Structure 1
Amino acid sequence: MIQRFEPQQPLLERITVNPRVMVGKPTIRGLRITVDQILRALAAGVTHQEILADYPNLESDDIYAVLLYAAELVSEEQVFPIEVAA
């Protein structure tokens, strides 16, 4: 059974957006490491520990923050059907 957790604000505060850093993409604690980089690494099968080894400035909670950030974005997504005339 999947348990639903409420968003953890302190964890989400690790994700920052600054137009001067990485062209405004969401980054981790203002570092030049984007949420996208970490998500793609995880999707490619890179382990939590391998990511931490590859990015020594990251902390374990940073990876959890990336996952929570992505989950929050997806949970707010809405899809509306559009009728197309043939």
Structure 2
Amino acid sequence: MKTAHPLISTQPGVRFGKPCLVGTRIAVQDVLGWLASGMSFEEIVEDFPELTLEHIRAALAFAAAIEQRTRQVAA
């Protein structure tokens, strides 16, 4: 299924339909949690070599876009 970002997809049978990074079963929510806990981009890529820096940036961009849409709906 398509999302607003080409590196993020949602599939009902993968991680209960949560937005995941393409080519992985890693959810955007996981990446955001790791960043929030203080992990650097480089540490995440080292721990999860299937991810790239572009994946991590895509997760941040996806979260920012959702926040923007939420603000527009609330206004």
Q: How would you bin the TM-score normalised by the shorter chain?
A: 0.7 to 0.9
Larger Rg: 1
Q: Please list the CA deviations of residues 6-42 of structure 1 after superposition, one character each: whole Å capped at 9, or x if unmatched.
A: xxx6xx1100000011110000004110000000000
Residue aligning to 2:33: 40
CA RMSD of aligned residues (A): 1.4
Q: Aligned residues, how many? A: 70
Match of 2:56 among 55, 63, 79: 63
| Structure 1: 4+ residue segments shifted above 4 A | none
- Percent identity, aligned pairs only, is 34
Q: Residue type matched to 1:54 in 2?
A: D
CA distance in 1, matches of 2:52, 2:35: 15
Residue aligning to 2:22: 29
Which structure is higher in helix share? Answer: 2
- Could you list the runs of 5+ residues in structure 2 that have no partner in the other structure? none
- Could you list the runs of 5+ residues in structure 1 that have no partner in the other structure? 1-8, 81-86
**TM-score if structure 2 supplies the norm length?**
0.86
